[in-house]
Chain A
């Protein structure tokens, strides 16, 4: 380094001594030689005119394979730095940085220049100069030049220009270099362009649109962030064509600790010849959901909260509600409903449409209550999602007690008295409208643990929107759930020829009690998961009391005293069961955290771990589940039993992670929200390559779907 300095001082000295300072062409005797670099301070013109701006620049010529850095060097390296010594009054502006190149050094990416670059600098304050004077410029330059390794350079470069009272003549040797550098300078983006960053958690999408021409150059475009520490430089940008623009995948920088309102940068288009560069200043909008995983080629705008989507989401909600009828949680209720339908006497068939409407009303009203509660609680700052009520052991206790009583009734242990005849289903009697209504309520209540296909995204969407939209979406889910029965009730012929009522109905009714008992079995298991053995014991005690009450009511059927005693016992049963729910507060039970299941090791969900595993090159399969989520359990059974899936997961060195939402968990709720969901199940595959977006699987999965998704990974 010192060597270059002395060489430089010598040349400067020789300039003075030999009076060559007036030499009209390139400055100095020769470029200064630095490590793998030749550096020269040059001027665009042969002279300077007082009062007119002038343009000088640092010309770097680099050995092959070596590079210097852009103003934002990227992951490592450093941009050249200049310290000027200028005559009084004259000032040097900022370096005009031409379009850089992306310089990958896996896993890092830097931004800079290879071979040759001119860093131009405007000179101002020339009005202080007088014709006939000499303008003497000195700059001390420090730079870092790197190939595999880095060498710092440091040199003093000088330039002397005559000051003349005439329009300066171009320096024929240097002005083409300035023209070339000028062409590669970022110019303001055309007014028609619309730029915006959509932030979906750490995944950002930069979208530049408003010009059909952009589409053609999409594949040849690169975005360079102007400031360091805003986006991860090494993440592939995957430029994608839009009808009138281009979009890039970016990833929020790990070094960025504050919210960013604007992302500034340069869009560089390498369309043959000199690159064109445009300055961008994109406002950052934080969006709710994740970026939809899709084929990078297809223009796939990220989910947006627009009215365009509302229609689609309503359709999804309706379809979801429809399919909900086939989900395991709704089955018991559905079977009761069909039974009620079958058992309606012929002369009562005229009432069927009314019952269908009452059933529909029951479903809709309970959906509204549910949605209203959910919206109100969320507005109050609680972060709850679909099925939230099942995260409450108290709710489960009450539901278990109620369903157990209901099942005992179906099994014939007791009959509800006349005052209660419409509750659930008074099958032998004609079913009242309030009974139908109530069955609708029941259907909704037991349906909540299930998420049907299409429903997840619709409900997630609903909860990210205003109350009105949310209500609309929930109404559609309810309408979907109610529709099949409503149609049957209006057009009974669709149900085919129904057999005559008779003994078989009693048998069928008793048979149907078993799915309801099964539901109770499952609810108590969920309860046990939430509160542990002691709490579960109390719930069983409560159920025992329900059994006693049922026996009393059945043994002395019709006696008002027996009815009162039974009601008292049921109240006691509720109290005992609910006391079990509070055990949880005293002894919280760790819910299946890291456990082996089907011979696979599951780790407990942790966002940090996902990132660190991916950084270590391992893909992650994340399963959002809950003990009360029947769809989840069915999925897990179908998928992880498959030896093919298991061996494929092992072969690909997958880390399996379970996010258990059986009880409320803010981190899991937040992550679900990041994917635009508010309920389980949700299955996400994180590819090992952190540049790739996570892949979201459908709500209902099977071995084939999972295998296909695994095979689609690179």
Chain B
């Protein structure tokens, strides 16, 4: 009986201690969305249930994004993880007329030129997906597990800078999250402050 009561007490306490749910909260279900990519194909997040999904907020004009593409860091991550079955979606939430806004054709030329290898580049000129996820910066990274739960939300790495020289020295949170999840372990750093340029909604 005493055991039961203390268990109930503990349960009640945990229930109180748990942080409140948010739009996108690590540990909770990632909100579903549907978006059209640069080739006109429609992608629905929930259709990727069973696979890991990485969301990468992208703006090709942003110096923080450039750091990761000029250094080849982002392309390397895309290739490394899509090879293991991860779905990598670059999402472009720049509004028309603002930095980083491109149409499908321009995006395809860009992807080819910099040898980027995401599963798809989703065009989100209305910013609906960006706002649904509360994407603040480019790059802002999200990792979703096979059950559709968010397991990482934040910066790409721990070096907030535009300096390419920082890339090799940095701790990549996205790779870390995916490695841990593939190994069936908990993600050590599940939330960080995203750094970069503001998303140009």
Contacts and interface: CB of A to CB of B under 8 A. Distances in A.
B131 A615 contact: yes
Contacts of A110: 198
Contact of B23 (A149, A383, A611): A611
Contacts of A419: none
Interface string B131-155: 1101011000000000000000110
A88 interface: no
A284 to B, nearest CB: 13
Nearest to B5: A380
Contacts of B197: 76-77, 146, 149-150
B72 interface: no
Given A149-B62, A608-B25, A615 B193 contact: no
B22 interface: yes
A612 B31 contact: yes
B40 interface: no
Given A75-B137, A76-B137, A110-B198, A257 B9 contact: no
A86 interface: no
A666 B15 contact: yes
Task: Give the interface residue-count category, chain B.
Answer: 35 or more
Interface string A609-652: 00110111100000000000000000000000000000000000
Given A144-B162, A148-B99, A381 B136 contact: no
A229 B193 contact: yes
Query: Which among A106, A142, A616 has the highest number of chain B CB atoms within 10 Å?
Result: A616
Interface in B146-201: 153-154, 160-163, 190-201
Contacts of B163: 142, 154
Task: Give the interface residue-count category, chain A.
Answer: 35 or more
A201 B131 CA distance: 22
Interface in B4-47: 5, 8-13, 15-17, 19-26, 28-29, 31
Contact of A254 (B11, B22, B98, B162): B22
A142 B161 contact: yes
A252 B20 CA distance: 10
B85 interface: no
A228 B153 CA distance: 15
Nearest to B192: A255
Nearest to B32: A612
Contacts of B63: 144, 150-152
Given A107-B131, A612-B31, A612-B132, A257 B191 contact: yes
Interface in A591-617: 607-608, 611-612, 614-617
B114 interface: no
Given A381-B11, A383-B15, A202 B200 contact: no
Nearest to A147: B99
Contact of B201 (A107, A201, A256, A616): A107
A615 B131 CA distance: 6
A564 interface: no
Contacts of A617: 131
B198 A75 contact: yes
B19 A616 contact: no
B169 to A, nearest CB: 15
Given A150-B63, A201-B20, A608-B25, A108 B132 contact: no
Query: Which among B8, B26, B61, B197 has the highest number of chain A CB atoms within 10 Å?
Result: B197
Given A77-B198, A107-B131, A148 B21 contact: no
Given A76-B199, A254-B134, A382-B12, A612 B193 contact: no
Contacts of A228: 193
A616 B200 CA distance: 17
Interface string A372-401: 000000001111000000000000000000
Nearest to A81: B161
Contacts of B23: 254, 608, 611-612, 614-615
A148 B200 contact: yes
Contact of A381 (B13, B24, B153): B13
A78 interface: yes
B31 A255 contact: no
Contact of A78 (B5, B24, B128, B160): B160
A255 B61 contact: no
Contacts of A380: 5, 8-9
Nearest to A108: B198
Nearest to A73: B195
Contacts of A76: 136-137, 194-199
A271 interface: no
A617 B132 CA distance: 9
B16 to A, nearest CB: 8
A149 B99 contact: yes
A108 B136 contact: yes
A511 interface: no
A611 B8 contact: no
A668 to B, nearest CB: 12
A105 interface: yes
A6 interface: no
A85 interface: no
Contacts of A150: 62-64, 197-198
A108 B163 CA distance: 24
Contacts of A429: none
A607 to B, nearest CB: 4
A309 interface: no
Contact of B136 (A75, A148, A383): A75
A498 B193 CA distance: 76
Contacts of A666: 15
Contacts of A78: 160-161, 195
Contact of B12 (A75, A381, A674): A381
Given A76-B137, A611-B23, A381 B10 contact: yes
B20 A607 contact: yes
Interface in B114-129: 127-128
A670 interface: yes
Interface in A120-158: 142, 144, 146, 148-152, 154
Contacts of A75: 136-137, 198
Interface string A147-176: 011111010000000000000000000000
Contact of A608 (B10, B31, B195): B31
A78 B161 CA distance: 8
B193 A255 contact: yes
B170 to A, nearest CB: 15
A672 to B, nearest CB: 13
A229 B195 CA distance: 12
A202 B20 contact: yes
Interface string A321-336: 0000000000000000
Given A76-B136, A108-B199, A616 B128 contact: yes
3 smallest CB-CB distances across A and B, nearest first, come from A76-B198, A381-B8, A381-B12
15 contacts: A106-B201, A108-B198, A110-B198, A142-B162, A146-B197, A148-B98, A252-B20, A257-B19, A257-B26, A381-B11, A608-B22, A612-B23, A612-B24, A615-B132, A616-B132
Given A148-B98, A254-B25, 8 more contacts: A78-B195, A105-B198, A149-B62, A150-B198, A255-B192, A257-B19, A382-B12, A383-B15
